[in-house]
Chains A and B, each alone.
Chain A
Amino acid sequence: MAFGTDDLRAMFHAFATRMRAERDHLCQLDGAVGDADHGIAMAQGMAAAARAVDDAEGTLQDLCNAASKGFLNAVGASSGPLYATGILRAGKSLGAVTEVPTDQVLQIIVALRDGIVHRGKAVPGQKTMLDAWHPAAEAVLQGLPLHDIIRCGREGAESTKNMVATLGRAERLGARSLGHLDPGAVSAAMLIETLGAVIDQCRA
Chain B
Amino acid sequence: MIQTQKLINHGDDVVEEMLTGVLAAHAAILWRPDGAPRAIVARHGPRPGKVTLVIGGGSGHEPTFLGFVGKGLADACAVGNVFASPPPQPAVDAALAAHGGAGVLFMYGNYAGDVMNFDMAAELLEMEGVEARTVLTTDDIASALIREKRRGVAGNVFIFKATGAAADLMLSLDEVERVARRANARTFTMGVALSSCSLPQTRRPSFGLPVGEMEIGMGIHGEPGVRRGPLRPADAVVDELMDALLAEMQAQPGDKVAVLVNSLGATPLMELYILHARVVQRLETAGIGIHVALVGPYCTSLDMAGASITLMHLDDELTQLIDHPCDCAMFAQR
**Bound complex: CA of A75 vs CA of B88, how far in Å?**
10
B105-147, CB under 8 A of A: which get 1 and which 0? 0000001110011001000000000000000000000011000
Q: Contact between A171 and B85 (Cβ–Cβ < 8 Å)?
A: no
Q: Contact between B84 and A176 (Cβ–Cβ < 8 Å)?
A: no
CB distance from B250 to the nearest CB of A (A): 22
Q: Contact between A167 and B149 (Cβ–Cβ < 8 Å)?
A: no
B68-81, CB under 8 A of A: which get 1 and which 0? 00000000000011
Residues of the B chain whose Cβ atoms lie less than 8 Å from the Cβ of A35: 83, 206, 219, 221-223
| B residues 206-263 touching A (CB-CB < 8 Å) | 206-207, 219, 221-224
Residues of the A chain whose Cβ atoms lie less than 8 Å from the Cβ of B58: 76-77
Q: Contact between A37 and B120 (Cβ–Cβ < 8 Å)?
A: no
Asked if A135 is at the interface of the complex by the 8 Å CB criterion, the answer is no
Asked if B155 is at the interface of the complex by the 8 Å CB criterion, the answer is no
> From DSSP, what is the main secondary structure of chain A's interface residues?
helix
**Bound complex: CA of A48 vs CA of B146, how far in Å?**
38
Residues of the A chain whose Cβ atoms lie less than 8 Å from the Cβ of B87: 72-76, 80-81
Chain A residues bordering chain B, tally (CB within 8 A): 36
Chain B residues bordering chain A, tally (CB within 8 A): 35
Q: Contact between A172 and B222 (Cβ–Cβ < 8 Å)?
A: no
Asked if A143 is at the interface of the complex by the 8 Å CB criterion, the answer is no
CB distance from A45 to the nearest CB of B (A): 10
| A residues 56-104 touching B (CB-CB < 8 Å) | 72-82
Q: Contact between B83 and A76 (Cβ–Cβ < 8 Å)?
A: no
Residues of the B chain whose Cβ atoms lie less than 8 Å from the Cβ of A144: none
**Bound complex: CA of A81 vs CA of B58, how far in Å?**
15
Of B80, B113, B199, B205, chain A has the most CB atoms within 10 Å of the CB of B113
**Bound complex: CA of A169 vs CA of B207, how far in Å?**
15
Residues of the A chain whose Cβ atoms lie less than 8 Å from the Cβ of B223: 34-35, 169-170, 172-173
**Bound complex: CA of A119 vs CA of B143, how far in Å?**
24
Given A24-B204, A31-B207, are A169 and B112 neighbors across the interface (CB < 8 Å)? yes
Q: Contact between B199 and A72 (Cβ–Cβ < 8 Å)?
A: no
B144-180, CB under 8 A of A: which get 1 and which 0? 1000011100000000000000000000000000000
Of B82, B86, B116, B149, chain A has the most CB atoms within 10 Å of the CB of B116
A1-27, CB under 8 A of B: which get 1 and which 0? 000000000000000000000011001
Q: Contact between A40 and B86 (Cβ–Cβ < 8 Å)?
A: no
Q: Contact between B201 and A77 (Cβ–Cβ < 8 Å)?
A: no
> From DSSP, what is the main secondary structure of chain B's interface residues?
loop
Of A31, A35, A73, A170, chain B has the most CB atoms within 10 Å of the CB of A35
CB distance from B14 to the nearest CB of A (A): 11
Q: Contact between B224 and A176 (Cβ–Cβ < 8 Å)?
A: yes
Given A32-B207, A35-B206, A75-B81, are A168 and B199 neighbors across the interface (CB < 8 Å)? no
**Bound complex: CA of A134 vs CA of B82, how far in Å?**
29
| A residues 148-170 touching B (CB-CB < 8 Å) | 167-170
Given A35-B222, A44-B81, A173-B224, are A76 and B117 neighbors across the interface (CB < 8 Å)? yes
Asked if B281 is at the interface of the complex by the 8 Å CB criterion, the answer is no
Q: Contact between A73 and B89 (Cβ–Cβ < 8 Å)?
A: yes
- Contact partner, A80, options B82, B117, B143, B144, Cβ 8 Å: B117
Q: Contact between B112 and A167 (Cβ–Cβ < 8 Å)?
A: yes
Q: Contact between A76 and B112 (Cβ–Cβ < 8 Å)?
A: no
B283-312, CB under 8 A of A: which get 1 and which 0? 000000000000000000000000000000
Given A41-B81, A169-B111, 16 more pairs with CB closer than 8 A: A27-B199, A37-B81, A40-B82, A40-B84, A40-B201, A76-B58, A76-B80, A76-B85, A77-B81, A78-B85, A78-B113, A78-B116, A80-B116, A171-B112, A172-B143, A172-B151
Interchain residue pairs with CB less than 8 A apart (10): A35-B219, A36-B206, A37-B84, A41-B81, A80-B117, A81-B120, A119-B116, A171-B144, A172-B150, A172-B151
8 shortest interchain CB distances as A-B pairs: A35-B221, A78-B113, A36-B206, A77-B84, A81-B116, A76-B87, A77-B113, A76-B85
